[in-house]
Amino acid sequence: MEASTGTFNIARAMNKLSGVVACVINPHTTRINETKKKTDKEDSLFLARLIARTPVEELSLVSIPSDQEMANRETISYYQHLKKQHTQGINRMHALFYEKGFPEAGKAYNLHTKGGRTAAIEKYIGSDRVLATTKRLLKGYSKQLTLLEQQMESEDTQFAKIVKQDDRTAAILGSIPGVGLKSIAAFIAFVGDINRVSSAKQLASYCGLVPRVSQSGQKNSTGKITKEGQAALREYLVEAVLTIQNTKFDFPLKRKYLEMKQRMNGRKAAVAIARKLVTIMYSMLKNGTVFFVEKEEERKAIATYQSRKRIKSLGGYYKICNSCKEYSEMIEVTNTLHSNEIGVLKFI
């Protein structure tokens, strides 16, 4: 079967049947179909011919997630749905203020908080009877946003439960400045066992952080990122990069981002550094190391940061380290490495 909505549930159910082996293949495999038609019938025929001439071990297969992994992904997706609704609500409030001649309301007050919304409504709308309907609508949107914020807050507990399922991954990824609860939870939910991934490039492609490549004759060109794969994971990785710039100490990954930010759009620079971050994560998980830098003073700064780092709904990062049985071994391996031994660690 080609990977699509509901495919994994069907594959897991079929694999429980005696004598049945269900495989899920990468959707890119079907793109080599020469027919100009794109129908379910044509795809099924193509897959049947592909299986007939290709051994299963040579197919571009997609790992079938377990029930627990599917539940984790549903949790992440639900939070993304709430977040999208929250953003839409904020935009509607901005539009109402703008329509009534108060475009500065969103800048003067933080509409992402209940207090900010209430203050903005009282400041710009007040008790003006002409704007009574607008005030009623704004208060309605504010109540909806408050409810969504409460739901989103409760989902942090579910994110924490996901992180606790894999203390090794949490200890490794949590050592990276800027990487927090949601980034770690999304990685565990959508990637899982790093041994499923054969290379850092494949992982970056899975996250949709590789550029589109267009080839015609002898001309090759690259465009924007593909945005294929897991959008939630990609979003949290980019958010992690944006958080890195707010750290109070200097280290290579932060310097690289600030340097690129001077030459291009900030969001574009964050996406580029997110690609490097994925490569670093892959290497760390494969080799069982924590975040590493060369200069001694930078190591001390990062060690201090890690000792004080708190992860939402989980407490101090050190608690994750203490619960991870492999952490002392990770530290030992990390301390014996040099940047030229694992090329990815020298990412500039």
Per-residue pLDDT at 343: 42
Domain extent, residue 135, equals: 67-161
Instruction: Indicate whether 269 belongs to any domain.
Output: yes
Per-residue pLDDT at 340: 44
Note whether 171 and 303 are same-domain residues. yes
pLDDT (tens digit, 9 = 90+) per residue, 39-97? Answer: 778 777 877 887 788 776 666 677 788 888 889 999 999 999 999 999 999 999 999 99
Instruction: Indicate whether 1 belongs to any domain.
Output: no
User: With contact defined as beta carbons under 8 Å apart, do 232 and 186 qualify?
Assistant: yes
- pLDDT confidence bin for 341, thresholds 50/70/90: very low
Angle at 271 between CA 209 and CA 4, to 5 degrees: 30
Note whether 188 and 257 are same-domain residues. yes
Q: Which amino acid is at 222?
A: T
Indicate the range of 177-181, 203-207, 215-219 predicted with least confidence: 215-219
Q: How many domains does the chain have?
A: 3
CA nearest neighbour of 245 among 209, 211, 270: 270
- pLDDT confidence bin for 342, thresholds 50/70/90: very low
pLDDT at 344 over 50: no
Note whether 333 and 190 are same-domain residues. yes
Q: Which residues pair with 220 in a beta bridge?
A: 215
Note whether 196 and 298 are same-domain residues. yes
CA nearest neighbour of 191 among 58, 31, 28, 72: 72
User: With contact defined as beta carbons under 8 Å apart, do 208 and 234 qualify?
Assistant: yes
Note whether 325 and 286 are same-domain residues. yes
- pLDDT confidence bin for 215, thresholds 50/70/90: low
Note whether 79 and 202 are same-domain residues. no
CA nearest neighbour of 73 among 235, 226, 179, 230: 230
Note whether 73 and 194 are same-domain residues. no
pLDDT (tens digit, 9 = 90+) per residue, 288-321? Answer: 888 888 788 888 888 888 889 999 889 999 999 9
Q: Tell the residue number behind the tokens 């309907």, with chain if given.
A: 133
Note whether 80 and 27 are same-domain residues. no
pLDDT (tens digit, 9 = 90+) per residue, 234-261? Answer: 899 999 999 988 888 888 888 888 888 8
Work out whether strand 211-216 and strand 310-311 pair parallel, antiparallel, or are unpaired.
unpaired
Kindly list the distances between the CA atom of residue 98 and the CA atoms of 51, 105, 112, 145, 172, in Å, as whole numbers in the listed order: 58, 8, 17, 19, 46
Instruction: Indicate whether 2 belongs to any domain.
Output: no
Per-residue pLDDT at 211: 67
d(CA 301, CA 335): 16
Per-residue pLDDT at 336: 78
Instruction: Indicate whether 231 belongs to any domain.
Output: yes
pLDDT at 346 over 60: no
Note whether 51 and 108 are same-domain residues. no
pLDDT (tens digit, 9 = 90+) per residue, 80-90? Answer: 999 999 999 99
Instruction: Indicate whether 211 belongs to any domain.
Output: yes
Number of other CB atoms surrounding residue 249 within 10 Å: 13
**By percentage, how much of the chain surpasses pLDDT 90?**
35
Kindly list the distances between the CA atom of residue 123 and the CA atoms of 126, 213, 254, in Å, as whole numbers in the listed order: 6, 51, 40
pLDDT (tens digit, 9 = 90+) per residue, 134-166? Answer: 999 999 999 999 999 999 999 889 999 999 999
Q: What pTM was computed for the model?
A: 0.82
User: With contact defined as beta carbons under 8 Å apart, do 118 and 142 qualify?
Assistant: yes
pLDDT at 348 over 80: no
Per-residue pLDDT at 13: 86
